[in-house]
Amino acid sequence: MKRLALLSAILLSLIACQPQNTPDTRARKVTVASVSLSQGLDSVIVSFGQNAQLDIRQFAPSAVRLNPNAGFVYDASVQGSNLILALKQALPYFTAYTFYFDSGNNLGVRIVDDFTYKFTTPYDPAPKFPLISDDELLTLVQARTFRYFYDFAHPVSGLARERNSSSDVVTTGGSGFGLAAFPVAVERGFITRTEALSHCTKVVDFLSNQAERFHGAYPHWLNGATGKAIAFSSKDNGADLVETAFLIEGLLVLRQYFSGASPEETALRDKITTIWEGVDWTWFQQDGQDMLYWHWSPDYEWAMNMPVRGWNEGLIVYVLAASSPTHPIGRTVYTEGWARNGAIRNGKKYYDIPLPLGAEKGGPMFFAHYSFLGLNPTNLSDEYAHYGEQNSAHARINYAYSLSHREQPADASQAHWGLTASDIPGGYSATSPTNDNGTTAPTAALASMPYTPGESLAALRYFYYTLGDRLWGEYGFYDAFNLPSRWFARSYIAIDQGPIVVMIENYRSGLIWNLFMQDQDVRSGLDKLGFTY
């Protein structure tokens, strides 16, 4: 019996010494705090927070996975509270991964929660094109982008297609932006003055003789071959006052630029004046109200019932409506309709930057672009704001938001920014600091060049040199990209292309600002509304 008892005791002792599957409740409990990559993409650093007291001798590699796992072979070590997985082969650039670390006993501690981390490795930072001076790069971008409005213009009307897949659908507002780019093209030597005059005359003849108008205003979309209105939405098959204002903005730039005494330039100016004076701005007060309305349809009349009220892209509408020599609005329409008797003001600070007007954190960047292709904000002010300060603040807030709320790729050098209306993965959206899905539109940063030259030039270099193998195409930069989704648009959109050419030129020489602000009708309208400039 004593011998049997001794054998039993030895057996129990041996069993007790075997590894157990049950958790060791005495182990220190920790969680995975974060996962990061080394700059060379050759190490994965798993952090467990301070004082984790990791023991590499008790590392269970089966708990760690990377999907896809090709090349995930490593040497493991511990540095303080971090597990370092030194990869035998660096991860490839711009590839999406999911990293897993299972809960359980590992590294001498008890990991209490499963951890999952999704990430995309950064874009290859190597320059995709030979380095040139910033001045040469600005000219290259303007020249290539201008092709959208010249080489790709609709063959019948000469107007700008809505986008590069639009066939006969042309855009009136986007065409206005494109027309404003023609003086740039001549002065920079992209085309001759004769070529520009011929093309612009073709456009103006089509607008005068074939394009449908409603109380002098144009629809958002036209058929570029026939001139018939194309519905933008179910009840929007008539006048669009905002798009008309963008078109008139460009036409008035041309009226100033083609100032020669030749019969051809004189005829062009006269035709533009007839179009300009034919817009019945007061009709869009909808029976004499102290505000302007965006739409009118011959079938649905005022059914859309959308007032043009600030702050947004519509300032140019009220300036032109006040400037009209034939159908002008009064100042109260501006103060009560657009400015909402002062409710247009913001006055808050974002990232320690005061914002005089508008939406929370500024809204999409096109608010600072579309009206200001012609209107020079540098010295423009009224009782509500100084517009140079407004647009500069808006752009700096957009930039500061991107740096503080978006992960900046290691190769971006704080140059990955720009939220505005653009294509997005699966659709189209007006992105902003309050509506951000990770999409960046080059036009947002590039058209802000007059407001944030340093930040915009840095973005330009990043877009061209680093991302250019996917972002640069026949007509300049594609519309947008989303690095977290590894998505690059293959679209060009007229209202995004035009501001790039014009606002870069306003930064470089002030050409389009100078032309538009010399128009005597415009100056009279600004005076009437109480602006100084």
Residues 517, 141: Cα–Cα separation, whole Å: 25
Pairing type for strands 34-37 and 74-79 reads unpaired
Average confidence (pLDDT) over 243-251: 98
Contact criterion met (CB below 8 Å) for 395 and 368:
yes
Contact criterion met (CB below 8 Å) for 501 and 146:
yes
Residues 524, 325: Cα–Cα separation, whole Å: 9
The per-residue pLDDT of the chain, averaged, comes to 93
**Could you give the residue ranges of the DSSP H alpha helices within 430-493?**
442-446, 453-461, 468-471
**Residue 451 confidence (pLDDT) above 50:** yes
Burial (CB < 10 A; 0-12, 13-18, 19+), residue 512, is buried
What tens digit of pLDDT does each residue of 121-130 get?
989 999 999 9
pLDDT computed for residue 1 by the predictor = 44
Euclidean distance between the first and the last CA atom of the chain, given in angstroms as a whole number: 112
Average confidence (pLDDT) over 275-299: 97
Please report which confidence band the pLDDT of residue 407 belongs to, taking 50, 70 and 90 as the band edges.
Answer: low
Q: What is the pTM of this model?
A: 0.90
Tokens of 431: 């992105």
Tokens of 386: 């100084």
Residues 433, 399: Cα–Cα separation, whole Å: 10
pLDDT computed for residue 413 by the predictor = 65
Helix (H) or strand (E) holding 481: strand 481-482
DSSP 360: G
Please report which confidence band the pLDDT of residue 10 belongs to, taking 50, 70 and 90 as the band edges.
Answer: very low
Residues 183, 186: Cα–Cα separation, whole Å: 5
Please report which confidence band the pLDDT of residue 241 belongs to, taking 50, 70 and 90 as the band edges.
Answer: very high
Residue carrying the six token digits 């519309």: 479
**Residue 412 confidence (pLDDT) above 70:** no
pLDDT computed for residue 14 by the predictor = 38
Pairing type for strands 109-111 and 28-30 reads parallel
Tokens of 337: 């309709």
Residues 309, 283: Cα–Cα separation, whole Å: 17
What tens digit of pLDDT does each residue of 34-77 get?
999 998 999 999 999 877 889 999 999 999 999 999 889 999 99
| Spacing of C-alpha 65 from chain mean position | 36
pLDDT computed for residue 39 by the predictor = 86
Strand arrangement of the beta sheet that strand 169-171 belongs to: 169-171, 221-223, 229-230
Tokens of 406: 């978006």
What tens digit of pLDDT does each residue of 167-208 get?
999 999 999 999 999 999 999 999 999 999 999 999 999 999
**Residue 21 confidence (pLDDT) above 70:** no
DSSP 320: H
Average confidence (pLDDT) over 263-289: 98
Average confidence (pLDDT) over 330-357: 98
Average confidence (pLDDT) over 294-301: 98
pLDDT computed for residue 434 by the predictor = 97
Pairing type for strands 349-350 and 353-354 reads antiparallel
**Residue 23 confidence (pLDDT) above 50:** no
**Residue 8 confidence (pLDDT) above 90:** no
Domains and CATH numbers, the chain: 24-120 (2.60.40.1220), 134-298+312-338+348-528 (1.50.10.140)
CA distances from 286 to 173, 281, 282, 359, 438 (A): 22, 10, 8, 26, 40
**Residue 11 confidence (pLDDT) above 50:** no
What tens digit of pLDDT does each residue of 459-506 get?
999 999 999 999 999 999 999 999 989 999 999 999 999 999 999 999
**Residue 19 confidence (pLDDT) above 60:** no
C-alpha torsion angle, residues 195, 197, 200, 205 (rounded to 10): -120
What φ, ψ does residue 28 adopt, rounded to 5°?
-65, 135
Tell me: cis bond preceding 311? Omega within 30 of 0 counts.
yes
3-state percent breakdown (helix, strand, coil) of the chain, nearest 5: 40, 20, 40
Q: Is 116 helix (H, G, I), strand (E, B) or coil?
A: strand
pLDDT computed for residue 408 by the predictor = 62
**Residue 400 confidence (pLDDT) above 70:** yes
